[in-house]
Chains A and B, each alone.
Chain A
Amino acid sequence: MKKILIAMAGLAGVVAATSANAGTLEDVRDRGHLNCVVNTGLTGFASPDDAGNWTGFDVEFCRAVAAAVLGDASKVEFVTATGKTRFTKLAAGEGEILSRNTTWTFSRDVDLAQTFIGVNYYDGQAFMVPAALGVSSASELDGASVCIQTGTTTELNLAEYFSSNGMSYEPVPIETNAEARESYLAGRCDVYTTDGSGLAATRATFDAPDAHVILPEIVSKEPLGPVVREGDDNWADIVSWTLKAMMAGEELGITSANAAQLGAQVNDNPEINRLLGVDPLQGAEQAGLSSDWALNILSQVGNYAESFERNLTPLGLSRGMNALARDGGLHYIPPIK
């Protein structure tokens, strides 16, 4: 019944979204705040804190976009979505950005008529098992019961991994992370599988996190990133360069602590001058951005490394693939020119 209601809501939303395709920036400015679709609750990525404020890696990206287009990182309203409803909510115009640890795949990009604007976290599907089980590799999981949070790319990766290794398993697909977590802890399943970052986040909420190990195998490529609706290239550019500005901030050594100072003086590095609006950045005006767009991002939210260390490092996640290219990671930023 609930699904049917959601679909009806989606239908109604599609109806409402008639004219929301172009001019997203104007819509956001007229409204005075950004609507951002985030996870219903995943520690480190998007979850409300004790005071009810949304925090997390994905949440901070939404704040960065608000800082870039509205000049105020606090002007964001968060719309929650499950793995299943997220694309419908984006398509229906309930948010301008989907920032919900979403994997970039061909069919989602092409078939579902939406635009992935980049990767903010390189992830991969992994397995978590109780340490007491004595399993040290995913190849020992033949015949296991596996809890899956449904509505993701996870089901397909799981089926592919087990069949390509000639192993059998019992899938136990569950709608929400909370229920899946319960089933795993009660021993209904031997294994819990989802993206490595999600496993770390879930494990951090256990009473005894040390009693569970994440197996070394990464069975899929999960480049996670923000998504916007197809059809408004200018909006896609703004969101995409917000992410790049955060990474450029790390590369150029601009942090929330020194951004204001660097933005008020002429620096030796011309790229810093262009990014912070000391020198004009060709094209920013045509895109509808003020000259201090990136200064707002970096002073109010901070650079990529700051956001990562605030939200993901406490979960035990290391930079790894998510370091800048110069540090041996995969994040390579085009020049700010």
Chain B
Amino acid sequence: MDFLARIWRHEESRAVVIQILVILAVFGSFGWLISNLVTNFAALNKNFGFDFLSQPAGYDINQTLVEYTNRSSHLRAAFVGLLNTFLVAVFGIILATIMGVILGIIRLSNNWLARNVTYWYIEFTRNVPILLHILLWHGIIINTLPRPKNAYNFGDISFLTNRGFYVPEPIAETGIAAVYLAVVAAIVFAVFFKRHAKKLQAETGRQLPVFGVNLAVLIAVPALAFVVSGSPVSFEYPVLKGFNFKGGMHLLPEFVALTFALAIYTAAFIAENVRAGILAIHKGQREAAEALGLRPGRVMSLVILPQARRVIIPPLTSQYLNLTKNSSLAIAIGYMDLVATLGGITLNQTGREIETMLLVMGMYLIISLSISMAMNWYNSSVKLVDR
């Protein structure tokens, strides 16, 4: 007893004791939860397992980036859903970043109107729940666009309806390899030319027209290869057959509404990050750049933004993660993402709520950690280097 009291009075050993107790409590409660789960599964005659993943899913999915039929397995359905989540996340992030950066810059503009319009846009957008944005955009699309019979017709090859935007689908034929090769070659050339131009400018101060030359090469070389190899691409055009357009490619209104809603919502937050990043740069930097005779656009792109990136990127990562996780609201409008397939129909058909939810959570965790890792890597590549 005396010994215990001595340990407790001693500050350092007391700290160790408290830490041990906390760890025991944490593990104890986890253990209790898990054993409870196991007991109750047994009491309910349910068994825990992932065998159901290999059984046929039995349902159809309206947007499949990989081969899928209703005879495919639940695992395959989950994969289709995962890819659909990815698709929304990638397009949403790209769109949100572009919009966010532009809005963030305009928000600091000297133009009173532009500044205030942006201000109100940001305040309105980020203070309305994301689910309402999604429902609003979906409602607008399906209620204002015409039905397939009265589709907006773009030269008989593309059609806009409330079932989606239909465009011709390019189909590769023999000889397409030459075009692919030309594209790769053009990209390689562009990268090297840009490096060469940078080096030349650093050494001699001479500037080459990098943008113009690269653009010309990127367009002309593949186009030339295309013509020389005898136009190895044919198109499948969408045609109205019965209820819907058949053939071609089409963008689902659910995909468009979801991506757009996520992008404009997240862009409002990103704009504020960008504004904070720009304001964090000492105004002497801008004045010095202007004193060198740089035009305002170049001041921003060459001096301010590269430095502001260090402030912008950490919170930007959070916004990317938010956007990805918010995409799980897709089911509200019927976009078949991971939550709608594995966490929705599969869950309901198999009744495995614990297993499917663990899988869904695991997959979101993997996506989020990947985004985090990529952004941390980018962050460390732009942070100040101590010399």
Contacts and interface: CB of A to CB of B under 8 A. Distances in A.
Interface string B130-145: 0000010001001100
A111 B254 CA distance: 34
Determine which residue in B37, B332, B348 has the highest number of CB atoms from chain A within 10 A of its CB, and name it. B348
Contacts of A3: 328, 331, 339, 343-344, 347, 357, 360
B44 A186 contact: no
Interface stretch (A38-46, A166-174, A326-334): A166-174
Contacts of A18: 36, 39-40, 43
Given A1-B325, A173-B345, A179-B332, A159 B244 contact: no
B241 interface: yes
Output the residue of A17, A18, A159 with the most chain B CB within 10 A. A159
Interface string A1-33: 111100110110011011001000000000000
Contacts of A151: 344-345, 348
Interface string A133-173: 00000000111110100111001101110010000011111
Interface stretch (B14-22, B56-64, B152-160, B181-189): B56-64
Interface stretch (A81-89, A197-205, A209-217): A81-89
A1 B336 CA distance: 15
A150 B331 CA distance: 9
Contacts of B39: 18
Contacts of B147: 187
Contacts of B336: 173
B238 to A, nearest CB: 13
Contact of B162 (A144, A173, A186): A186
A186 B142 contact: yes
B61 A230 contact: no
Contacts of A111: 350-351
B244 A143 contact: yes
A175 interface: yes
B45 interface: yes
B276 interface: no
Nearest to A84: B348
B40 A174 contact: no
Interface residues of B, number: 54
A230 B45 contact: yes
Contacts of A179: 135, 332-334
B60 A155 contact: yes
Contacts of A230: 44-45
Nearest to B135: A179
Contacts of A144: 242-244
A182 interface: yes
A183 B59 contact: no
A9 to B, nearest CB: 10
B143 A186 contact: yes
Nearest to A168: B246
Nearest to A143: B242
Interface string B328-364: 1101111010011001110111110110010011000
B277 interface: no
Most chain-A Cβ atoms within 10 A of its Cβ — which of B58, B241, B243?
Answer: B243
A87 B61 CA distance: 24
Contacts of A190: 243
B46 interface: yes
A231 B353 contact: no
Contacts of B58: 155-156, 159-160
A95 to B, nearest CB: 15
B366 to A, nearest CB: 15
Centre residue among A15, A18, A87, A155 by max chain B CB count within 10 A:
A155
A172 B63 CA distance: 10
A113 B242 contact: no
A252 B340 CA distance: 48
B253 interface: yes
B70 A163 contact: yes
B163 interface: yes
A319 interface: no
A331 to B, nearest CB: 28
Given A150-B340, A172-B334, A230-B45, A182 B348 contact: no
A337 to B, nearest CB: 32
Nearest to A169: B60
B37 A14 contact: yes
**Which 9 pairs show the lowest CB-CB distances between chains A and B?**
A7-B357, A155-B59, A159-B70, A113-B45, A186-B142, A144-B243, A112-B351, A188-B142, A174-B334
16 contacts: A3-B360, A7-B354, A7-B357, A11-B37, A14-B44, A111-B351, A113-B44, A147-B334, A150-B334, A152-B348, A155-B60, A160-B58, A171-B61, A174-B334, A175-B332, A230-B45
Given A151-B348, A174-B332, A188-B142, 13 more contacts: A3-B331, A3-B357, A15-B40, A18-B36, A144-B242, A144-B243, A156-B349, A160-B58, A171-B59, A174-B331, A183-B142, A186-B139, A190-B243
Interface of B: 33, 36-37, 39-41, 43-46, 58-62, 70, 135, 139, 142-143, 147, 162-163, 241-244, 246, 253-254, 325-326, 328-329, 331-334, 336, 339-340, 343-345, 347-351, 353-354, 357, 360-361
